[in-house]
Amino acid sequence: MRQFLSPTLTLVLFASTTIARADLAPGSPSENFEETELASGLPSPTSVTFLPDGTMLATGKGGQLWLQAPDDTLTTAGSFNVDTESEKGLLNVLVHPEFDTNRLLIVYYSAADSADVDDNNRHRVTTIALRSDGQLDMASETILLDGLRGPANHDGGALAIGPDGFLYVGAGDTGANNRSRPEDENPPTNYFPTCLTNGNGKILRIALDGSIPDNNPLVGETVTACGNSAGEQPSTTAMAREDIFAWGFRNPWRLWVDPLTGNVWVGDVGNIAYEEINVITPELVGSNFGWPWREGMFGHAPTQCELATSHGGDCVDPVYQCARSENEIGIDGGCQSIIGGLVIDSCEWPEEFRHRYYLGDNRLGEIGYLELNADRSRVVGRRQPFIVNAGPVHITQGPDKALYYVNYGRGAIYRVAPSSPPPSCTEPGTGGTGAGGTGTASGGTTGTNNTGGTASGGTASGGISGSDAGGGSTGDGASCACELPGRKSDGQPLLTLVALMSVSMRRFRRRNR
């Protein structure tokens, strides 16, 4: 039996046990994978991640950050003073890429009322140090991003670090639900996602010290300004909030940045009719992804987005929509509350499950997967079932390449991995810490380290350089027998040059039309 320990609470958790595949979808998933329960009895868990040494971290809605020690004991590393009304709370945690040297974690939470916190400044992203004794150094907390409204629900909480070394943040639109589908006769009731002077309903991008990247799309721009309430249509102008990267989102609860392309995949929770997966490719940086003018691929005319903001062009439709209803021609049905996921490329996974985008639905309770197109910018085909009875609120991949998910309702964390990994498979070489660095691999081949620093990685047998999409500690070089799509022959992400050119040209056109 495993013990969960805190200064005021002791719970007995079940020991890690392999479930008899009861939660894996019938057929190939249940035949090729096994599921292990890592922790249970957690009060309202919201996210999970891992330190460079493989130690598991988890967050609780009530503000707790839990640490799993090597002996499987879970302890409370510390607690944040949070507002837990509705969907608010401690919503996510990341490990800083330079954790081995700075011991920093990155958290997103809804701060409780105080002298400088109210509904107009509710959500924040901060760094905080984890001491070597496994306790948070609360005095070290530093705010990277704040000024996000939070009077109701749709609180976001998405965090990801891209191959460019920047931090991506998803913030919700603060609630104010539309009471009907977005159609010409139904004007929006929440304009915050369209307004470009606040951070709500947006994907934001900042450096890991909180500064603004100078190639963010609205740096130095004059834009539509917010009214005093969500239902007040913007009618004046002001300087933009410069950390905005893309806008027009309802509740981007989870996002993921593809380490091979830099594409930002966003799970956006729907209102009445459709759930969405949106992809921000380099050419779509600084675009309006539709809400509140469109839901899924339906609603007001796409030109309404440009008319509303004079920025971002026409509304951009999602790459995947799932209907709330059971059946619509050509559209997956039965979705209720989408959970953005990630692409799994690990060559330890069976071929039919590799290079797939894994996504969840909290209220439907399932995790499924979608095939990718050749350049990893869209999905093709229909959603396939992978895990049932999952109740996910967070899906990620661990350093062992297994899929991990958090079941909020059960208060549990699960690991899903191939039951018989290919014996000849070895992963690409992992790299060191830092932002966006590259290193020289043995044999004279450049190894890309997407979290930066100097890579020790080796030559990949598939003709690509060793790469590491996550983690932080220096790893050994390795060869990979699997071919990863969407990467140039020198191993560099496709994003960097294309993104800079695309953003620069768009800003030039805006200023000169």
Q: What is the pTM of this model?
A: 0.82
Query: What is the average per-residue pLDDT within 340-344?
Result: 97
Location of each CATH 2.120.10.30 domain in the chain: 2-418
Q: Which two tokens stand for residue 255?
A: 């996002």
> Cα–Cα distance between 58 and 38 in angstroms, integer?
11
Query: What is the average per-residue pLDDT within 320-338?
Result: 87
Q: Are the C-beta atoms of residues 452 and 434 closer than 8 Å to each other?
A: yes
> Cα–Cα distance between 451 and 429 in angstroms, integer?
12
Is omega for the bond preceding 292 within 30 degrees of 0, making it cis?
A: yes
Query: What is the average per-residue pLDDT within 151-169?
Result: 95
State residue 426's pLDDT score.
65
Residue 187: pLDDT band (50, 70, 90) is confident
CATH dotted code for 2-418: 2.120.10.30
> Cα–Cα distance between 150 and 172 in angstroms, integer?
9
> Cα–Cα distance between 304 and 496 in angstroms, integer?
30
pLDDT tens per residue across span 21-45: 458 999 999 999 999 999 989 999 9
Q: Reduced to 3 states, what is the DSSP secondary structure of residue 387? A: strand
Residue 255: pLDDT band (50, 70, 90) is very high
Q: How does the average pLDDT of the chain come out, rounded?
A: 81
